[in-house]
Amino acid sequence: MKFRRYLLGYYVMWWAVLVALYFTLPGLRAETWGLIGLSGVGGIVAGVVINRPTRKLPWLLLAAALASFTAGQVSFLVAQLVGVPLPFPSFADVLYLLTYPLYTAGLLIFIWWRTPDRDRRSLIDALTLIAPRHPERGRAVGDLAKTAGLSVAQRSLGEPPKSDVDIFVADTLGELGLIYRLAPIVFMGGSLASHGGQNPIEPIRLGAAVVHGPHVWNFAEIYEALDTARGAQAIADEETLTTCLSAWLTDPTSRTAVADAAMVTVKTLSGALERTLAALEPYLMQLRLEQRAS
H or E element, residue 167: strand 167-169
The set of residues, in sequence order, having a beta carbon less than 8 Å from that of 66 and lying 6+ positions away, is: 37, 40, 41, 44, 99
The tens digit of pLDDT for each residue in 207-263 reads: 999 999 999 998 888 999 999 999 999 998 888 888 888 888 878 888 999 999 999
Extents of the domains making up the chain: 2-113, 121-273
Secondary-structure class of domain 121-273 per CATH: alpha beta
H or E element, residue 74: helix 57-82
The tens digit of pLDDT for each residue in 223-235 reads: 999 999 999 999 9
The tens digit of pLDDT for each residue in 40-77 reads: 888 888 878 877 776 788 888 888 888 888 887 777 77
Q: Are 191 and 213 in contact (CB under 8 A)?
A: yes
Q: Around Cβ 235, how many Cβ atoms within 10 Å? A: 22
Q: Are 113 and 236 in contact (CB under 8 A)?
A: no
Residue 117 pLDDT > 80, yes or no? no
Residue 119 pLDDT > 50, yes or no? no
d(CA 292, CA 294): 5
